Amino acid sequence: MSSEHRDAGTHGEDEATGARWKAAWEAMPTAPVPEEWQATLMASVRERGAASRVRRPSLWWGPLAAAALLALAFGAAAAAGINPRRDLTELAVLAGDSAASVLRLPEGR
């Protein structure tokens, strides 16, 4: 037998083996789904869901807490008779004067 004939035969044998393996692969039986499998899986998912809700607070909590604190501060200031806008401006001016005196900046600069 010539080498060409032998190669063609080997190639044909490869093809046949490949086809048989592919058929065997596609015919492999599927394992049955156990009766309680889905219920057990969902219990695990719910458990993880509850755990992640405890671990990860909503992203809204930060801004909401900051807004609540700000509202509380303004409310308390108003109750104490402080006008935040006016008094904060005065405070800024005083802070500027103090800074200027510490740095000994000449007047008018």
Partner 1 sequence: MPDGDPSDAEVVRCVLLGDVDRFEVIVSRYRSVVFELLSRRLPAAEVPVVASDVFVSAWESLERYEARAPFAGWLTRLALRRCHDHWRRTYAESALRERLDDAAWRQIADAAPPRAARRRDDAEQLQLLLGRLPPDDRAVLTLLHLDERPVAEVAEILGWSTDKVKTRAHRVRRRLREAAAPDNAAPEAGAGSARP
3-state DSSP assignment of residue 36 = coil
Q: Could you say whether residue 40 binds partner 1 (CB under 8 A)? A: yes
- Give the residue, chosen from 5, 29, 102, 109, that forms a contact with partner 1 under the rule CB under 8 A: 29
Q: Could you say whether residue 43 binds partner 1 (CB under 8 A)? A: no
DSSP string, 39-88: HHHHHHHHHHHHHHHHHS--TTHHHHHHHHHHHHHHHHHHHTT--HHHHH
Cβ at position 16, least distance to partner 1 in Å? 10
Q: 83: which 2 tokens? A: 């006008």
Among the listed residues 98, 75, 78, 76, the one whose alpha carbon sits nearest the alpha carbon of residue 86: 78
Instruction: With contacts defined by CB under 8 A, name the span among 13-21, 59-67, 76-84, 95-103 that binds partner 1.
Output: 13-21
Q: Could you say whether residue 8 binds partner 1 (CB under 8 A)? A: no
- Give the residue, chosen from 48, 90, 96, 100, that forms a contact with partner 1 under the rule CB under 8 A: 48
The Cα–Cα gap between 91 and 73 comes to 17
3-state DSSP assignment of residue 35 = coil
Q: Could you say whether residue 44 binds partner 1 (CB under 8 A)? A: yes
Residues that bind partner 1 (CB under 8 A): 10, 13-14, 17-18, 20-25, 27-34, 37-38, 40-42, 44-46, 48-49, 53
